[in-house]
Structure 1
């Protein structure tokens, strides 16, 4: 199972706009493909190809071409790969193996990696690119690529997550950049004077690859809050805000041959776009994942994927169903959840939290509701955040804005010519109380019209209470019906989407 640790990202100077444009044009290809990173390490409880069918069908429906099956060296890996490959074949989707080098051992595992590729190379669902077996990785800079190729015994299209400046790109068919979030270049949130944008990563890889294809990342968020109850304790957040929207817009201009969504189901790092109800085991992340569906992000990707494959930069022609996608964190970032006074456990600002600290990067977050209207024609989008009213004149197509959030219910309305077209109130209120005694920087993602109810299954909640010092029920708790809209108290101006690089 992926240990959820990221590697150091090298910081290189971005190439100039003219040079970058020239390199991009030389890499254009009509076979643009979209993948989604799928964690095999948390689905050991699946016992049939049918347990994978819903994921396969949903991914195919939104335009995803293949799942990148992230594997370690767990004893259940082959069983789950067999089931996933069979389900993919049954549902008309492709899959390929993405080797996780938190478990494999770089140089010494070249033959082992090749043998695993060969084991599944001829399965009907195996993705092939340019008539070669496609394979990838998470990390693995020192892998003996020649040994890997020799062990496969047939042509391999190898696009690993090797790092610029740390690995030899000469023997690769392409390369994958994992870092889909702004950082300080050392696996933490940006700091004053130390910001590495995702676009800088694009430029570094494009320069290193030359005419070879680039696999670009797109990710909506990153928050993880594991404590000492698990062996891989970590506690940080990268700035997300409108990243999902801005990154897709950016990729329509970058036009890489491959895009990989990070991720479909890594719940513990909060960048999942797949359903909570997808069968999986709990790695401890359920404490901040419960009641936090992300399906709206999946919906938002549909017109962008269509535009990307068509080589377009405008998604307007590809919007077939009008929606409003919104997301926000459930509490203000300054809420104090650090008290260890056990007599105060469960009280506001005194939760008995076992982490003793906000996640690294918490100060980079904004206390806002983020809104993306997907419209076939212009309209006015109104947000009522806890009584504060914001009106945004949304054009046809995809647009974005943000509003400063207030405690209470969050309501959204689309009107045209004074008539209500769409309207809904979120099931999730913003509160000033630590949920289950924790800092939760995972966002709630909703849609207007509201989507189907999506909840964790019992296996996805098994480690919910591990490490908690607050009595908290390990079950979905969102209400069946939304709360009432807040009474209007003020009207303010919304915040337009930023234009700075992501």
Structure 2
């Protein structure tokens, strides 16, 4: 096991590495795959290394965004040791884009300790200059002197091939760029050139390497090295991004172009091995890697069918031969893959069904940017052996056949038709024999989106033995509006960092918690207000009931228990949220209390408080004592404890949950599910009203007396009625709600507001015959109903705001400003419905994002006293784009307010 002591000097570490003579440019031919380092399992990491080595990769570029995360060091320890024992190499690729978004923000210096500890590991990739190789994703917005300082910290003994393609002048190989950066870099790596153009970066067509060529020319002129990206596609519908960059022939066309220029290219980086949310993965996507709702809808498609195809390319690249000289991988007769999307360009997703099924906001359910360049075609890439003349490819798509002839030895690639239904492709030799089949993949759909979204991530089928066709019956489905009930395992109470998971909206059924000893819970007395209704007068031959309110203090007996139960948690705040902290609270059943009416002792009923506590309470409010001790009690708000009993020492044993009041919940697969004894149960009480919310006045009042339930003659219509007026009741009974409403809630429906017409009272002879006490009681009844049912008021709604649009802005909008800065500015707003942006008082007016020089884009609210929420600003920006504004512009509202997107020259929120 290789371990360096933390703090060992950089020079000493690098000296431990083997240093070789610098080879010529033509001698360097290596292929890596970009690997996203996450909190994966040991078994899965090892399998990734074995699979990568089997297909011919030299090693992994380990993408690390936040080097301070707890799992990073343990993951590297395991991967480096396993790689060394399997003749496989690794090197760190500093993801300085993700590092800049970390909280707190990270930069190149934060990786220092990892380099100190691992640069000398025998599995670390040695660069062409004989020193440890280091790559990056993005430049981090840093200056050349910062990078030189980083190199100096390792005695300049590193081999740095960074992705600096976000710097000005990079893709044109401007002499000024090389003057500024030339001494910092040992070579270059272009990331954005790997796909068709977006935001000004990329090729003119899938596989086009023309953006790489000026950079390659500059590298060669300065005797540096070049690493080119090789990728199938880029489709991302997660984390505030919804884009598609054509992937039909991007992979084989780029293979062809790279092999045609192999003498000028020393390294290839496959993008990627396991970046599921970006869709350009060729390895396994393990279930623990990403459980968020949005990417989980589409990154389930297997892409391992591309591995042997890339393996054939690797062999050809290392031997510097062209695509026609590629041969099947390993001992295969043929090597190849067939891939296609599961929907057609004409397929329309049901937005309402998608909202209902996924809980995602519309941004992720709408069509991705770039979908207009998609075509209804499947793609294939096939490597045939020597002598393969006259071979053909027979494609059956949705029952229609398409035959491609003229296949020959080497790499063959192209498109075929794509129709709704079952998909199948067969390689046939000149004798008409079927050599290999790509089949058994999912169907293509014309009238439904089976994943609920416009999924552009392809199904990839490897040519091998035939597999059974799938049934075309997939539909958009999933958890629906609380219908998914997740029973949580009791182990969460013993975990130091529990985490719940579901595809929201869902309901978590928390398990009860067993305490180490008996706990006594003392609940403070409860003050309740009730009605008494008795005959008081006669009106037109009808008995009129007088009503008064009485207040009583109810003493709740103490509860001694060894088990604490918790309320169910309904998680429905899901839009745009992948992880959040949810509050949990006790739900302790309180025994009923028998009450007797003091004025009428023949009337009794059971008062039910319902689950305790009745309001949101700190979950650590319960403590326990060793049996035989003095008995610790806790009050009903969790604010303190009192001790009572007959002696003995008191030892507090609070439940494990007492150390926290919330549990993190993540969108994804249900976890940790209960599979044994000790599960909780669905809510039977306190199900509809959150803790701390009482029913409205008049509904929680029990009614006691002969007039209860007699709303037709002026008495109360309360359901929780005690007395001879109650339905099916006599002199006594249970007036409480046996189902246990909130706070022992006495649910009921008051009488209609027009039971009495107060305008008629003075004309009624029975009114005149009342005593003053009786009249006062009757008036009290009327006033009570009037308070519950006031006369409705009408308001005139404000007219909707009218909007107009323009695409005006600074002249720099068309020159310096890049769309990505505007996208970043809008996507990093606080996305909720709170009016937090505006021009009132000390409010912030918006958000900006810029390059390292502070030049970028700002989205902001303008106008006198205007406010907007982050969600409103986000949608207004979408309206601007639909109007036709590429970058800058304004939405003008008829109230004088304005939402503007424009170039700014000074912005502190930078790359």
Please state which band the TM-score falls in when normalised by the shorter chain: 0.7 to 0.9
- 8 Å Cα contact 1:53/1:91 also seen in 2: no
Secondary structure at the aligned position of 1:152 is classed as coil
Secondary structure at the aligned position of 1:199 is classed as coil
Q: CA deviation at 1:200?
A: 2.8
Q: CA deviation at 1:102?
A: 1.9
Q: Per the alignment, do residues 196 and 328 of structure 1 end up closer, same or farther by CA in structure 2, a change over 3 Å counting?
A: closer
Residue 12 of structure 1: aligned partner: none
Residue 88 of structure 1: aligned partner: 83
The one of 434, 444, 449 aligned to 2:464: 449
Residues 20-169 of structure 1 correspond to what in structure 2 (within 5 A)? 28-40=25-37, 43-46=38-41, 48=42, 50-73=43-66, 74-104=69-99, 109-129=107-127, 130-140=129-139, 141-142=141-142, 144-153=146-155, 155-163=157-165, 165=169, 168-169=180-181
The one of 401, 409, 412 aligned to 2:422: 409
Q: Per the alignment, do residues 198 and 148 of structure 1 end up closer, same or farther by CA in structure 2, a change over 3 Å counting?
A: farther
Q: CA deviation at 1:275?
A: 1.6
Q: CA deviation at 1:105?
A: 5.2
Residue 857 of structure 2: aligned partner: none
Residue 325 of structure 1: aligned partner: 337
Deviations 1:364-393 (A, max 9, x none): 111111112221113121001111111112
Q: CA deviation at 1:183?
A: 1.1
Deviations 1:216-244 (A, max 9, x none): 00111110112xxxxx3110100111110
- 8 Å Cα contact 1:27/1:257 also seen in 2: no
- The answer to whether structure 1 residue 220 and structure 2 residue 232 are counterparts is yes
Secondary structure at the aligned position of 1:146 is classed as helix
The one of 244, 247, 260 aligned to 1:237: 244
- 8 Å Cα contact 1:127/1:134 also seen in 2: yes
Q: CA deviation at 1:184?
A: 3.3
- The answer to whether structure 1 residue 428 and structure 2 residue 428 are counterparts is no
Secondary structure at the aligned position of 1:289 is classed as coil
Deviations 1:53-98 (A, max 9, x none): 1111111111111100000223322222222212211221100000
Q: CA deviation at 1:281?
A: 3.5
CA distance in 2, matches of 1:369, 1:162: 34
Bigger shift: 210-219 or 80-89? 80-89
- The answer to whether structure 1 residue 359 and structure 2 residue 368 are counterparts is yes
Q: Per the alignment, do residues 424 and 116 of structure 1 end up closer, same or farther by CA in structure 2, a change over 3 Å counting?
A: closer
- The answer to whether structure 1 residue 440 and structure 2 residue 433 are counterparts is no
Q: TM-score, normalised by structure 1?
A: 0.76
Q: CA deviation at 1:276?
A: 2.8
- 8 Å Cα contact 1:181/1:221 also seen in 2: yes
- 8 Å Cα contact 1:184/1:195 also seen in 2: no
The one of 395, 398, 415 aligned to 1:386: 398
The one of 176, 184, 187 aligned to 2:189: 176
CA distance in 1, matches of 2:466, 2:439: 12
Query: Which is greater in Rg?
Result: 2
Secondary structure at the aligned position of 1:76 is classed as helix
- 8 Å Cα contact 1:407/1:429 also seen in 2: yes
CA distance in 2, matches of 1:298, 1:451: 18
Q: Per the alignment, do residues 237 and 213 of structure 1 end up closer, same or farther by CA in structure 2, a change over 3 Å counting?
A: same
Residue 496 of structure 1: aligned partner: none
Q: TM-score, normalised by structure 2?
A: 0.43
* RMSD (Å), alpha carbons: 3.3
Q: Per the alignment, do residues 323 and 90 of structure 1 end up closer, same or farther by CA in structure 2, a change over 3 Å counting?
A: same
Residue 202 of structure 1: aligned partner: 212
- 8 Å Cα contact 1:288/1:440 also seen in 2: yes
CA distance in 2, matches of 1:207, 1:359: 35
- The answer to whether structure 1 residue 250 and structure 2 residue 252 are counterparts is no
Deviations 1:285-326 (A, max 9, x none): 121012x11111112111111010001114545324213410
- 8 Å Cα contact 1:177/1:201 also seen in 2: no
Secondary structure at the aligned position of 1:29 is classed as helix
Deviations 1:448-478 (A, max 9, x none): 215999xxxxxxxx67668699xxx969xxx
- 8 Å Cα contact 1:353/1:437 also seen in 2: no
Secondary structure at the aligned position of 2:364 is classed as coil
Residue 347 of structure 2: aligned partner: 335
- 8 Å Cα contact 2:207/2:251 also seen in 1: no
Q: Per the alignment, do residues 103 and 420 of structure 1 end up closer, same or farther by CA in structure 2, a change over 3 Å counting?
A: closer
CA distance in 2, matches of 1:110, 1:155: 16
Query: Where does structure 1 lack aligned partners over 5 or more consecutive residues?
Result: 1-25, 227-231, 454-461, 476-502
Query: Where does structure 2 lack aligned partners over 5 or more consecutive residues?
Result: 1-22, 171-176, 469-500, 506-573, 577-667, 671-911
Bigger shift: 105-114 or 173-182? 105-114
Residue 286 of structure 1: aligned partner: 296
